[in-house]
Structure formats: structure tokens, C-alpha cells
Amino acid sequence: MNKRFFRVATAAVSAIALTASLAACGGDETAQSEEKELTISWYYTSGGGDAWERAIKLYKEQNPDITVNEVHTSFPQMQKNAQLMLQTDDAPDVAMYNQGTSSVGNLASQGILADLTEYAEQYGWTESLPNSIQTIAKYKADEGGIMSEDGGWYGVPIQGEFTLAYYNKDMFDQYGIAIPETFEELEAAMQSFVDQGVTPVAFEGNETAAQHLWYELALSKADRQWVNDYQSYEHDLDWNSEPFTYAAEKFAEWVDKGYIPNNSGGLVAEDMITQFCAGEYPIMFSGSWWFGRIQQDGAFTTVFRAFPGNENLSTGAAGKLWVVPETSKHKDLAADFLNFLLSEDVQNMLVTEAGLPFNATEDASLENLPEALKNPLGTFDDLQEQVMEFNAVFEMLLENDAIALYPDWPSAGMYDALNSALQGLINQNSTPEQATQEIQAAYDEGKAELGL
């Protein structure tokens, strides 16, 4: 694996040595307690293999003088109740929460989350994380909570996620088609499948697949400044520019040519992944979160690639952010725990489970993990070759600093607007121009709500 990817974070410097120097960081509006107690809230996965539960176990072993309380929650619970849960007197000291302007940014703008910028500088997160990943952690609290590379740190990203191409190699071999390495080869491969009576792409239009494909197509004609303008409102967008016109027109073209199922506008993600794993389609463009499901349910050899042509800008982000509520009386301990999550041991654990870490080391392996971090279920023990191949795709994107966030992030209304507009293209009820106008209307409305 590439040595530049497996850089050891400055965060791996002993947290004990830094604790004293960070004491001054606790001098905010909330008085800091001298009690060594820490309450951690995260999206818990039951069944015995929860990675964060294992990480907390190791943290306890390494810090026996700290009382650690665990609060299990779920994504829907936090998405619905975070504003209340994170500003009460008994709020956790550190919590997992969703990233983006409408989530972390919104809470930061209300003063609910603590500014972690001093901790980021002290622990070296500003040096150990790629710039595009740092942006996900930064928000302008005084400007509506807009996510921006110029904002303050209101969260810490621990691992990544991204959209990629999954290829059923068995089907490619069966129909005598080579795995595509370029965008031109991808289109040629899809046409070859169509010519042989096979619809190539497993797809859905109700959750994220359609909007992520639209965004990938736009990114293929964009640059980093376009991403900053779209995501952080740095400059006004030209909705007649090539990224937007090309994305809508190419999307509609793929529907017209039969690359995308014409019934997929009514399907959801579970339909898509079930059909792909059943071997009904040779290609799926979707998220890294499906890796384990495909290995479990797909009875075929899978090849993983970044979306062809998007090696320099690709849909993706951090998996989630870990945040510290302003009400916390143990901010120094909270920062110490976050630094622990970026440490060599935890990051190496993520490597072995296709967890897409930012700061693992070259010798990451099951054998080198502390016992506390080993998955008792052995879920990925027999899949290490596939896991390392999968991590290598993300490694390449990190090397290129290519992570370009998600299309629905600029405002809360974008998610529904994107799906509605793209369903119109899938169902062939609207033109590319009409779809783009619908997306623009939602974007402009969200921008106006931020006072911009």
C-alpha cells in the first residue's frame, strides 16, 4: 500500500503529554470539571461487532482513571433530536452526528456545539487530515453554520466514505466485456451489455444513487473551486455552465440508451442492492457502505473502482463527525478521546474492516491489532485481500485530495429536490433543462434561508 496514504497522524503523539497543555482550551463559557468522567454517545450497531464499542473498550484499558459512560443511540434518533439532546445539562461530552451545513453547521450556528479549533491545532489534526476532509469538520458559526474550509472546527472526522463503481466480474467475463478503466470504456461496456440484452446498472431514484450519479457526472466537468462554490457559497453559480448541463444531459442520455432501468425511479436502495447481489445487473454505482453486504450476499467476484474519470474529484465525505456539546464540562477529556480515535491502533482496526481510515500505518493487519480491537465475530477475517483492495481505492482518492462531499449538503431541501428532479429524468417526464431548473430552485431557496 502507498506509504503516503498510511501516514501516522500527529494525533498519535501521546495524549497524556498533551493533556496539560490543553487545559487552557477548556476556558469557554461552560465551567470545566476536574472530575475524570466522560460520557460518549454514538450510533450503536448491535450484534457484537460494533467497532466503536471495541475502541471504547481499549480506551478504558488505557485510561483506567477515567470513568467512561456509554450512551447508545441511532442515526434517526440523533437526526430528529440532536438539538435537544446536545444542549441539556446531562448531554454527552462527545457524540457522533451527521456532517454538513444543515446538521453540524446548524447546531454550531446556535451555539450548541463547542469550537474545537484549538484542540485541532494542538493535537495536529490540521496536519494529519487531508484538506478536503478537514473542510467537512469546519463551519462558519456566525454565518449560518456554512461548511467552509475557512470555518472553525466543530467536529472531528475519523473515517471516510465515498461513492464508487462495483463491478460483477463474473457477468463481465460471461459476456466477454473488460472491466472499464476510463469513462469512455465504461460507456462502451454499458452499450455492449445493452446490445446483448442486459440492462447494465442496478439503480434507484428514491434515496441516494440517482443524486450521487448526477453529482459524479457534474464533478467530471468541474474543479475544486466549483465544489467550493456549490458547497460553501463562495461565489455565485452559473447553472448554465458545463458541470450542470452535462450532468443532466448525460443522465438523461443513459436513461434513453437503456443503461439505467426505466423502473428505477420507484425503487429504493434496498431494491438496488438486493438486485445487484442477486447477479441481475453487472454494475452498481453506490456507496462504500455496501461493501460488507456485497461480500456477504453476492455469490460472485467483485471488482472495485473509483467512478471512471473522477479520480481527482469524487463524491464522498467522512463517515460521520464526532462533536463536543458546548454544555460539556469535560471538553479536554472529550478532545483526548477524539485524538484516541485518530490514533494508530484505532485507525489500523478500521483498515482491517474496510473502514476507510485517514491515518493508518503500513503494517495494519489483524495480527497486529490489540486484542480489544479484534472483531469477535470475525466478520472480515477471511476477506482481507478484498478489504485491502477496497481501501486502496479510497487511498488513491485521498492521495489526490479528491473528496468532494455530497450533492444534497448545501441545504436541507436539496435531498428531496434532487430526487424529484432526477426521477423526472428516469421516468422521462422532464427535460434536462427542467430538471436542472428544479434543482436550482431548491438550491436558491436554501441559500436565501441562510441569508446569502
C-alpha cell at 259: 443503461
Q: How far apart are CA 217 and CA 221, in angstroms?
A: 7
The answer to whether residue 401 is domain-embedded is no
Domain assignment present for 69:
yes
| pTM (two decimals) | 0.88
Please indicate, yes or no, whether residues 47 and 19 belong to a single structural domain of this protein: yes
Residues 26 and 147 in one domain: yes
Q: Are residues 152 and 197 in the same domain?
A: no
The answer on pLDDT for 6 being more than 60 is: no
- Given a cut of 90, is residue 163 above it in pLDDT? yes
pLDDT 10s digits, 246-279: 999 999 999 999 999 999 999 999 999 999 999 9
Cβ-based burial of 26 (10 A; exposed 0-12, middle 13-18, buried ≥19):
buried
Q: What is d(CA 241, CA 257) in angstroms, rounded to the nearest whole number?
A: 24
Look up residue 269 and give its three cell numbers: 436502495
127 shares a domain with 270:
no
Q: Is the pLDDT confidence value at 29 over 70?
A: no
| CA 347 remoteness from chain centre | 16
Please indicate, yes or no, if residue 277 is contained in any of the structural domains.
Answer: yes
Domain final residue, candidates 379, 398, 421: 379
| Same domain? 69 vs 214 | no
- Name 238's Cβ contacts closer than 8 Å, sequence gap at least 6: 244
**Which region among 27-31, 80-84, 132-136, 341-345 has the lowest average model confidence (pLDDT)?**
27-31
pLDDT recorded at residue 192: 98
Question: Are 135 and 229 found together in one domain?
Answer: no
Within a domain: 366: yes
pLDDT at 10: 34
What is the spatial distance between Cα 25 and Cα 164, in angstroms, rounded to a whole number?
A: 40
Angle of the 414-426 helix axis to the 209-219 helix axis, nearest 10? 90
276 and 412, same domain (yes or no): yes
Query: What is the rounded CA–CA span in Å between residue 364 and residue 5?
Result: 12
Cβ(418)–Cβ(408) under 8 Å? yes
Q: How many domains does the chain have?
A: 2
CATH number of the domain residue 136 falls in: 3.40.190.10
Do 418 and 278 reside in the same domain of the chain? yes
Q: For residue 54, give Cα distances in angstroms to 45, 77, 210.
A: 12, 22, 35
Per-chain mean pLDDT for the chain: 91
Domain that holds residue 284: 162-313+407-449
216 and 363 assigned to the same domain: no
**Do 68 and 196 have their domain in common?**
no
Coil vs helix vs strand at 13 = coil
Q: Are residues 210 and 111 in the same domain?
A: no
Is 120 within the bounds of a domain?
A: yes
Q: Give the model's confidence band at 394: pLDDT under 50 very low, under 70 low, under 90 confident, else very high.
A: very high
Residue 124 lies in a domain: yes
| Claim to verify: residue 277 and residue 205 sit in the same structural domain | yes
392 within some domain:
no
Q: pLDDT tens digit string along 193-233?
A: 999 999 999 999 999 999 999 999 999 999 999 999 999 99
**Separation CA 319–CA 158 (nearest Å):** 8
Residue 187 is placed in which grid cell?
Answer: 460507456
219: cell is 464533478
